């Protein structure tokens, strides 16, 4: 199968010339979007879903020739990094079109003024995080009344990050008649409810990877005392000669601390988290991708939206709270047919938690001990729920329940 056989125009087939053939999600989604139907799609990280909607929706843009460009295509994403990735794909694909298409990225964490300047004269395509989009609308820098196509990319993550209210406000500003696309790696009840509100008779597309298409990721579970994880990380980087490592931690403070300790051990490392300015985050990613930095120590901010070519190793220094996020973390490696390695540090406190992650993903990994780092701590007497998200109430949930009780 070729991109031309899917109904794409010659310029957009040229835009896809770097790819030998459509991926399964592209082959399924592109023809449906070209005929104007709504789509509800699920596909794993690295499946090519961005190009699956970029190409057909660019083809369906109306070229009016007006001096004031009208925003016709709106893409909402949960993170700045995913916004950058989608914008890059949009710009690269639009270059092949005979008419010039203006694409503007609108994200928080940076000054709004350059984005307002970029929107002068309008833009056919806007890629945005919900909060910054609403800021621009409130400042009359952007009108949404002419939007003909809406994409919610990583809808589950949008809801996880608390964008439900912002999404409702955005939807209220859009014309009722439009084409809508919802892409999500998982479909919890909240995403299903959003799909029922957003989509009209959608075509449901679920791409299940065959064994031959699954990323080749070796998974390892290493038992270690919590206090010795940084020493073990440094030891593995040096002895196993890892060229680049993405390390996931639970907190911003931990990201800064681990990165600092690695630098003291003569290993180039940077922290990557939400408190950094957008400029610092962009530079950190550029240095990591360009091999100027060997280790990037990140919170789950980096769990989605990052596409790092030939990333050999991912380390779960802290385990993710959500079993779903485990998949997204390790999915940063083993992309585009490259082999990858995912290492999880298992402490006495996180032992039960990792068992539940294994159960959710039908895994059973051998527990390793590294010489000189054999664990001495013992698990707590009551493992509880293991901390899997959805099984244990969060502090916010408890506060809401307490407030509801008082209101009765």
Domain with CATH 3.40.50.300 in the chain: 4-206, 217-368
* CATH superfamily, with its number, for domain 217-368: P-loop containing nucleotide triphosphate hydrolases (3.40.50.300)
3-state secondary structure of 291: coil
Query: What pLDDT, on a 0 to 100 scale, did the predictor assign at position 47?
Result: 73
Q: How far apart are CA 155 and CA 295, in angstroms?
A: 29
390: confidence class by pLDDT, cuts 50, 70, 90: very low
Q: How does DSSP classify residue 217? A: E
Rounded to an integer, the average pLDDT of 353-377 is 92
What are the tens digits of pLDDT across the range 179-190? 999 998 777 788
Rounded to an integer, the average pLDDT of 67-94 is 91
Distances from the Cα of 360 to the Cα of 47, 236, 296, 357, angstroms: 22, 28, 28, 5
Query: What pLDDT, on a 0 to 100 scale, did the predictor assign at position 209?
Result: 56
DSSP helix, strand, coil percent of the chain (3-state; round to 5): 40, 15, 45
Distances from the Cα of 389 to the Cα of 44, 203, 324, 342, 404, angstroms: 20, 30, 9, 21, 22
- Tokens at 122, concatenated: 């309008």
- Tokens at 280, concatenated: 């610092």
- Tokens at 183, concatenated: 């892409």
Query: What pLDDT, on a 0 to 100 scale, did the predictor assign at position 65?
Result: 67
Residues composing the chain: 408
Query: What pLDDT, on a 0 to 100 scale, did the predictor assign at position 210?
Result: 46
Query: What pLDDT, on a 0 to 100 scale, did the predictor assign at position 155?
Result: 87
The rounded mean pLDDT for the chain is: 86
Q: How far apart are CA 26 and CA 24, in angstroms?
A: 5
What are the tens digits of pLDDT across the range 148-169? 999 999 888 888 777 888 999 9
CATH code, residues 4-206: 3.40.50.300
Query: To which H or E segment does residue 127 belong?
Result: strand 125-128
Decide if pLDDT at 107 tops 90. yes
Q: How far apart are CA 252 and CA 158, in angstroms?
A: 20
Query: What pLDDT, on a 0 to 100 scale, did the predictor assign at position 391?
Result: 46
What are the tens digits of pLDDT across the range 258-269? 999 999 999 999
275: confidence class by pLDDT, cuts 50, 70, 90: confident
Query: For residues 356 and 323, is the Cβ–Cβ distance under 8 A?
Result: yes
What are the tens digits of pLDDT across the range 45-56? 667 889 999 999
What are the tens digits of pLDDT across the range 109-158? 889 999 999 999 999 999 999 999 999 999 999 999 999 999 999 888 88
35: confidence class by pLDDT, cuts 50, 70, 90: very high
3-state secondary structure of 323: helix
Distances from the Cα of 361 to the Cα of 297, 324, 355, 374, angstroms: 25, 9, 10, 27
What are the tens digits of pLDDT across the range 287-346? 998 899 999 999 986 555 667 778 999 999 999 988 778 887 888 887 766 788 999 999
Query: What pLDDT, on a 0 to 100 scale, did the predictor assign at position 334?
Result: 77
Query: What pLDDT, on a 0 to 100 scale, did the predictor assign at position 302?
Result: 58
Query: What pLDDT, on a 0 to 100 scale, did the predictor assign at position 362?
Result: 86
Decide if pLDDT at 387 tops 60. no
Tell me the chain's radius of gyration from C-alpha atoms. 22
Decide if pLDDT at 211 tops 50. no
Distance of alpha carbon 298 from its chain centroid, rounded?
13
Mean pLDDT check: name the lowest of 2-11, 123-132, 210-219, 352-361: 210-219
Decide if pLDDT at 243 tops 90. yes
Decide if pLDDT at 395 tops 60. no
């Amino acid at each position: 199968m070729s991109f031309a056989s899917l109904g794409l125009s010659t310029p957009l087939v040229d835009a896809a010339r770097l790819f030998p053939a459509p991926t399964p999600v592209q082959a399924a989604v592109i023809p449906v979007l070209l005929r104007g139907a709504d789509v509800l799609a699920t596909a794993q990280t690295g499946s090519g879903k961005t190009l699956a909607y970029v190409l057909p929706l660019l083809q369906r843009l109306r070229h009016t020739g007006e001096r004031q460009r009208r925003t016709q295509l709106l893409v909402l994403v949960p993170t700045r990094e995913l916004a950058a990735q989608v914008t890059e794909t949009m710009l690269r694909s639009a270059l092949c079109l005979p008419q010039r298409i203006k694409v503007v990225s609108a994200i928080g964490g940076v000054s709004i003024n350059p984005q307002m300047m970029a929107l002068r004269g309008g833009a056919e395509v806007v890629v945005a995080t919900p909060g910054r989009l609403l800021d621009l609308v409130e400042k009359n820098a952007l009108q949404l009344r002419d939007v003909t196509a809406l994409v919610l990319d990583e809808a589950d993550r949008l809801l996880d990050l608390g964008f439900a209210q912002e999404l409702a406000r955005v939807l209220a500003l859009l014309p009722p008649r439009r084409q809508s696309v919802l892409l999500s790696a998982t479909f919890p009840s909240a995403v299903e409810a959003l799909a029922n509100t957003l989509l009209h008779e959608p075509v449901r597309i679920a791409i299940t990877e065959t064994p031959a298409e699954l990323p080749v990721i070796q998974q390892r579970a290493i038992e270690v005392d919590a206090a010795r994880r940084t020493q073990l990380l440094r030891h593995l980087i040096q002895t196993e000669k890892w060229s680049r490592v993405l390390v996931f931690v639970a907190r911003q403070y931990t990201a800064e601390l681990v990165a600092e300790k690695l630098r003291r051990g003569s290993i180039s490392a940077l922290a990557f988290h939400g408190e950094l300015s957008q400029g610092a985050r962009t530079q950190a990613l550029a240095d990591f991708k360009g091999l100027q930095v060997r280790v990037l120590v990140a919170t789950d901010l980096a769990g989605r939206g990052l596409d790092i070519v030939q990333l050999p190793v991912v380390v779960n220094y802290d385990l993710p709270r959500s079993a779903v996020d485990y998949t997204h973390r390790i999915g940063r490696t083993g992309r585009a047919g490259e082999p990858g390695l995912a290492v999880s540090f298992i402490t006495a406190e996180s032992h039960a938690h990792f068992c539940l992650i294994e159960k959710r993903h039908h895994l059973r990994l051998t527990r390793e001990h590294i010489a000189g780092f054999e664990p001495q701590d013992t698990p707590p007497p009551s493992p509880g729920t293991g901390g899997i998200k959805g099984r244990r109430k969060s502090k916010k949930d408890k506060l809401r329940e307490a407030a509801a009780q008082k209101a009765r």
